[in-house]
Amino acid sequence: MATFKTRLSKISKSNGKVILANDYDLSTRNLESKTIENIKKLHPFLSGIKLNFHLLLPLGTKEITRINNISHRYGLQTIADIKLNDIGNTNKITTEHLWNFGFDAVIINPIMGLESLKNLVKSAHKNNKGIITLCHMSAPEAKLSYDMEIKIRKKQRLYQLFLDWALAAKVDGIVVGATFPEIIKYCSKNVGKKLNIFSPGVGTQGGSAHEVMSAGTDYLIVGRTILNDKNPISIAKELRLQSLTKK
């Protein structure tokens, strides 16, 4: 079986490089059928779908497995966005559950440490699954934490350390917010083709799809800009075209 990176790259050749952040709030009923409807309606313009922790909580094993199976039927890769950050033992159990649900990849928080990260990558890759780590988040206040100056062996910023760890652990991808295009450029220069850059924060949060794709982003993660639009299909189509902007 191909790796997560290869599977994602393959579907993106026809469908473009947009991953739907399938986010809904507490007032939304029928989460499962809404999600399946999104997959059926939007799949030609998506390479994947991301399900956040808050979406997984009210769903059960059956529902999550069905969503993953239907996504796969349409060729979409599925990402569990739980920003996992715990000790090795519970990380292992959590990812085993996610793989059993049928997810292709998980987003994790590298603050857990390099050794834990390496272990997760090893076990994920044995199962042909992917690991994506946070590098620099999209919210304005991320500057305070991810840009923090630190010193372990040398002086650097926290996101630079997370980038070094992502490379050392051979993760499949990193998250760098679309609202920080200069940081995307820095990361892109340093990673080359070794891993993919995933950028949330386009549209509603102020990031520009064109700008981040030219800065070096590989995949756009987009939620509200598509889901809250009067015509989600046309906005997804337009974002698909923008996601094909050359680096």
Residue 70 beta carbon to ligand BMP: minimum distance, rounded to whole angstroms: 20
Indicate which single residue of 77, 116, 138, 242 sits in contact with ligand BMP (rule: CB under 6 A).
138
137 touching ligand BMP, by CB under 6 A? yes
Cα–Cα–Cα angle for 121, 52, 66, nearest 5°?
90
Q: Determine the interface stretch with ligand BMP among 118-126, 161-169, 180-188, 201-209 (rule: CB under 6 A).
A: 201-209
**Per CB under 6 A, which region of 5-13, 66-74, 220-228, 233-241 contacts ligand BMP?**
220-228
Alpha-carbon distance of 22 to 42, in angstroms, equals: 11
* 157 HSE (CA, 13 A, CB side): 15
Bridge pairing between strands 149-151 and 155-157: antiparallel
3-state DSSP helix/strand/coil % of the chain, to nearest 5: 50, 20, 30
CA 178 and chain centroid, separation: 12
Binding region for ligand BMP (CB under 6 A) out of 25-33, 39-47, 71-79, 221-229: 221-229
Shortest separation between residue 21's beta carbon and ligand BMP, angstroms: 4
Write the DSSP symbol of residue 204. Answer: T
| Shorter beta-carbon distance to ligand BMP: residue 169 or 173 | 173
> Binding pattern to ligand BMP, positions 14-33, x when CB under 6 A?
-------x-x----------
Determine the residue type at 1.
M
Do β-strands 173-176 and 105-108 pair in parallel, antiparallel, or remain unpaired? unpaired
Instruction: Name 144's bridge partners.
Output: none
From 15, 71, 95, 225, residue interacting with ligand BMP (rule: CB under 6 A) = 225
Name the CA radius of gyration of the chain, rounded: 17
| Least distance between ligand BMP and beta carbon 126 (Å) | 25
Q: Per-residue contact track with ligand BMP, 147 to 186, x per CB under 6 A?
A: ----------------------------x-x---------
| Least distance CB 24 / ligand BMP (angstroms) | 10
Which residues have a Cβ under 8 Å from the Cβ of 189 and sit 6 or more positions away?
Answer: 216
Out of 206, 224, 234, 247, point to the residue binding ligand BMP (CB under 6 A).
224
Q: For residue 120, what are its two tokens?
A: 């997760």
- The helix/strand/coil state of 84 is strand
Binding site for ligand BMP (CB under 6 A): 21, 23, 52, 81, 137-138, 175, 177, 200-201, 204-205, 221-225
